[in-house]
Structure 1
Amino acid sequence: MSKFLLPVISNPPGDPAERGDAARNRQKLLEIAAQIIAEGGVEALTMDRLAEQAGTGKGTIFRRFGSRSGLLETLLNHTEKAFQREWMFGPPPLGPGAEPRERLLAYGRAVIDRVAITGELQEAAREDAEHRFGVPAVQLHRMHLAMLLRAAGAESTGVDIQLLCYALLASLEPGLLRFQRRNNGIDAERQYEFWQYLVDRILNREAELS
């Protein structure tokens, strides 16, 4: 699989590139593709299977995405843009309007939950350090965490916010989360509990692991 350049959204919802039936059909195909991956992994997603489950011709899918690699890249970019919209413009607690701590907790929960659907794609797209931490979308996540940490008063503890953001992002790396689940039997709920523990310790709150 080629290395995907994760996107950064430039406009709020309501200004899609596609409209009408074309946009709805594209959305339907991507949702079905994501479900196939969630149930059987990336290898389970074939053009034949997608066409069968979507009730459309394989030629239609090839015309829309070009190839299986094009489909995978489109799916990853689609889910990344949707996630960015959720924490930029969506409802609280993930979106604006909640207290910084609640938004930090909601962000971690959302990242952890996404791994079940897009973790394998994300892991493949970030196979080297430059793509794991250097692409604009990842830097946008870092800036988001930095904003929330500063709003929550984390700087008052004297911590280096920039390094702290990288450490927090590393704890949410799709490859690490998937490894923990496959090899250590650590489920998503336990991963979220640890994220809450990290956030509360950083903000000098009382926190205990269950």
Structure 2
Amino acid sequence: MKGRINAVLFDLDGTLLDTAPDMANAANMVLKEYGLPPLSDEQIQANTSHGARGLLKTGFGDQIEGKDIDSLRLSFLKHYERDICRATCMYEGVVELLQALDAKNVPWGIMTNKPGFLTHQLFTYFPALQQTRALVCADTLPVAKPHPEPLIHTAELLNVSPRDCIYIGDIQNDIVAAKAAGMYSAVAAWGYVGKGVDPLEWEADLVFNKIENVLSLF
């Protein structure tokens, strides 16, 4: 049984940061090497939160058959690391939200499926995110989302029971992970929710259309 919401956990890509332009650029560089066209805006919107594999699989389509996806991912990471923050930006209202949570003494943390070395590199550009009391990345533990353990670990770092946390993310796997962790779940509808996708079907506890609406919890 879930309790009262006392802490907020955030996804990163498509929730706190709009990383789509730089992630898409890295994917397009790989696609170009194979003579394939760049991703469409719709493909980028629907797949950025699924990371390198999501972007590459949609870009290669049927041609992904027989390809070494791990090798393609390494190529993606090389391009992405080199140009990680050319166009990435924080969503409008994020700084104000985080400051408001701090002012209300509401602990907050970040749980992302982005690899740790890229997350830390990206954080150098965004001081507000460096203030997080807990950061768990894709490779912090042996498992990643949608497995619930990374979210449970993030709650432990905040010294908060998972049942008293809410996790906010923009893809269905975020909601699946939160439910499995025994947390409240919320959709960041301002993020990379794909065209034609109805987040209400994910059965999250809440759907936030605007970042500032998160403060209605406290």
TM-score, structure 2 normalization? 0.32
Bigger radius of gyration among the two: 1
**Structure with greater proportional strand content:** 2
**Structure with greater proportional helix content:** 1
- Highest relative contact order (Cα 8 Å, sep 6+), 1 or 2? 2
